[in-house]
Amino acid sequence: MKEIIEVLANLSTLVFVISSMLSLGLSLTVQQILEPLKNIGLVLRVLLANFVLVPLVAYLLKSVIPLDHSLAIGLILLATAAGAPFLPKLAQAAKGNIALSVGMMVLLMVVTVIYVPVVLPWLLPGVQVNPLDIARSLIILMLIPLAIGLFVNARYDDIAHSLRPMMTQASSTSLLAVFVLMLVLNINSVLETIGSGALLAAIILIIASAVIGYFLGGPSPGTRSVLGLGTAQRNIAAAMVVASGNFANDPNVLTMILVGALLMLVILMPLAGEIGKRSSRKRPEFIV
């Protein structure tokens, strides 16, 4: 039964990522995605939050909270991997700057591929990371579907218009399936970490990351919400690639990543919804 649930969870995740990227590509233009990234100050704040401050928070947490060594490794992997496919969905729920969320996601993915192989061996001596392993999954599952959607939207507006609702529905339905299946599949792993400090460390990392991103987001609420949510939502796929390649015989490393992934869904989706409810009472802002 567990094997069937694992297959369904992996399939749901695959459908979610691909349909989300297609949906975004069908709804946006390359210019809209690149425009927010022309703000150099904003880009520097995004990089500072995700690749300096969040890893620093994780390093401090593993020093303060008595974590098992394997769980501490998982926490560091979470903190160093950024650019999650869930970010645009969170931005939609929060009624934030969608184009910025896509641009930020792509930027963080690209930097993660370069950053992780350089930084992880320094933070975790003995770890070896092949950037191609990380890049391969991100390019195939995220960047190619996004590029296809952008191409169709630019060249075939009628087709894009007809496909958009289907991709949006597929994305929302598969996200719900991912949440439920991950909860069912990993509930025992989560329960086993009670008392280990893993839950506390993951919750603090998520909340601290959201606060860091939010306050570095600048004056616009639409930008602050995207930076806050995007900084808190780490790149689970990239973290799991590293864990599988270096710690396949240490299940606690993967457990920590799965606990973090589940808590991110539990915390950030309701948070995004609440931000969206509040922002709906105000005029949307898209200043970056």
- Per-residue pLDDT band for 48 (boundaries 50, 70, 90) equals very high
Q: For residue 186, give every residue at least 6 positions away whose Cβ sits within 8 Å of its Cβ, in sequence order, or none.
A: 258, 259, 262
SS (H, E, C) the chain: CHHHHHHHHHHHHHHHHHHHHHHHHHHCCHHHHHHHHHCHHHHHHHHHHHHHHHHHHHHHHHHHCCCCHHHHHHHHHHHHCCCCCCHHHHHHHCCCCHHHHHHHHHHHHHHHHHHHHHHHHHHCCCCCCCHHHHHHHHHHHHHHHHHHHHHHHHHCHHHHHHHHHHHHHHHHHHHHHHHHHHHHHHHHHHHHCCCCCHHHHHHHHHHHHHHHHHHCCCCCHHHHHHHHHHHHCCCHHHHHHHHHHHCCCCHHHHHHHHHHHHHHHHHHHHHHHHHHHHHCCCCCCCCC
Q: What is the pLDDT of residue 284?
A: 47
pLDDT digits (tens, 9 = 90+) for 8-43: 888 888 888 888 889 888 988 888 888 888 899 999
Q: Is 127 left (phi over 0), alpha (psi -120 to 50) or beta?
A: beta
- The token pair that represents 162 in the structure block: 């007809």
In a domain, 96, yes or no: yes
* Cα–Cα distance measured from residue 113 to residue 131, given in angstroms and rounded to the nearest whole number: 5
In a domain, 285, yes or no: no
- Domain of 90 in residue numbering reads as 2-279
Closest CA to 82 of 237, 190, 272: 237
In a domain, 271, yes or no: yes
In a domain, 105, yes or no: yes
What would you measure as the largest C-alpha separation in the chain, in angstroms? 57
In a domain, 185, yes or no: yes
CATH number at residue 98: 1.20.1530.20
Q: What is the mean pLDDT of the chain?
A: 86
pLDDT digits (tens, 9 = 90+) for 53-103: 999 999 999 999 988 888 999 999 999 999 887 888 899 899 999 889 988
Domains identified in the chain, total number: 1
In a domain, 60, yes or no: yes
Q: What is the pLDDT of residue 247?
A: 82
* Residues 235-242, mean pLDDT to the nearest whole number: 83
In a domain, 112, yes or no: yes
pTM of the model: 0.81
In a domain, 286, yes or no: no
pLDDT digits (tens, 9 = 90+) for 126-148: 777 777 877 787 788 778 888 99
Asked if the model's pLDDT at residue 122 lies above 80, the reply is yes
pLDDT digits (tens, 9 = 90+) for 96-121: 998 899 889 889 988 888 898 888 88
Q: What is the pLDDT of residue 282?
A: 62
- Give the residue, 171 or 165, on which the prediction is more confident: 165
